[in-house]
Structure 1
Amino acid sequence: MILKMIDLSLMAGHLPVHKAEMDKLASYICSIQHSDIKQVATEQYMIMKNHVKVMVALMNPEQNETIGINDLHKWEPVQINCQKRSIGMSQENILRELATSAETMANKNFNSGLRMKAENVRNIHVHMALQQIMILNRYIALMDKFMKDTAPVSSRKEQEETYQTFKNMFNL
């Protein structure tokens, strides 16, 4: 299948972002000391490596019609060559950056998917976004475990007042 130019352009623009994110992930993985964080980051790396393979296959007019969502689950183990142990960031900041990276990749994949024309290409990108959201949720759980939450907590009274405001606004 010959793709619409927008599909091809979005993937061509997105692949260098994947390369940069994967290089950054690799350096973080080499610097992470906590095994749970390292495991999630390594899984994110494997997922993104698979995303690259799928996008490159989608560009191939000889095979792109045979590429589907199941191809997103064909992860392969990775070996990351760690030459430099520390990047000068705290484990907490690395974890925050990893979460931000997963959120950014989810947004990029979802927004690209919404604009794509070929159904399988669009669906694959939406599922790529969902995979990054699953990774993000795992990072958030690790942040909840290892870091102090800095978001202020609302009171029951504030929540009930907000609830009543919108309940009344929409006549519910």
Structure 2
Amino acid sequence: MTLPAVDLGIMAEHLSTHEGVINKLKMYDTSADNAILKDLIRLHMNILRNHVTAMLGLINPDQDEEIHLPEMEKFHFDMGTVILSDFEKDITLECKATAKLMGSDNFN
């Protein structure tokens, strides 16, 4: 599969953004204590890693098969039992903003 050069450039630039966000999430994972928050952070990292794998497959000129994303793992929890420290609330809000921005960026 061949992609237009502009798409390749956008994806190559976007890969470094993913790397930065994944590294930030790793720091948040080690800083957070709440198990549910840590699970959400790890889920977010896995989604980003899968996205990186898909982009690398699309960029690879030798790739001639379709690119498929793995099934997303199911995630269930009871929000009524979650107690976060102020720092963990900040992590949650920042992760939400980053995910929203990256999703909008991907869509555009």
Do Structure 1 and Structure 2 share a fold, with TM-score over 0.5?
yes
Question: Partners in 1 of 2:19 and 2:45 — Cα distance?
Answer: 10
Aligned residues: CA RMSD: 1.9
What is the TM-score of this pair, normalised by structure 1? Answer: 0.52
* Structure 1 residue ranges (4+ consecutive) displaced by more than 3 angstroms after TM superposition: none
2:66 is matched by which residue type in structure 1?
A: T
Post-superposition Cα deviations, 1:88-140, rounded to whole Å, max 9, x if no partner, equal x71111111111111111111111xxxxxxxxxxxxxxxxxxxxxxxxxxxxx
Post-superposition offset of 1:37: 1.1
Name the structure, 1 or 2, with higher relative contact order (CA <8 Å, separation 6+).
2
Residue 21 of structure 1 corresponds to 21
Question: Partners in 1 of 2:27 and 2:97 — Cα distance?
Answer: 16
**Structure 1 alignment gaps of length 5 or more:** 76-88, 112-172
**Structure 2 alignment gaps of length 5 or more:** 73-85
Matched, 1:92 2:89: yes
- The size of the alignment, in residue pairs, is 96
Which structure has the greater CA radius of gyration? 1
Q: Per the alignment, do residues 58 and 64 of structure 1 end up closer, same or farther by CA in structure 2, a change over 3 Å counting? A: farther
Q: Per the alignment, do residues 102 and 25 of structure 1 end up closer, same or farther by CA in structure 2, a change over 3 Å counting? A: same
1:107 counterpart (94, 101, 104): 104
Q: Per the alignment, do residues 93 and 64 of structure 1 end up closer, same or farther by CA in structure 2, a change over 3 Å counting? A: farther
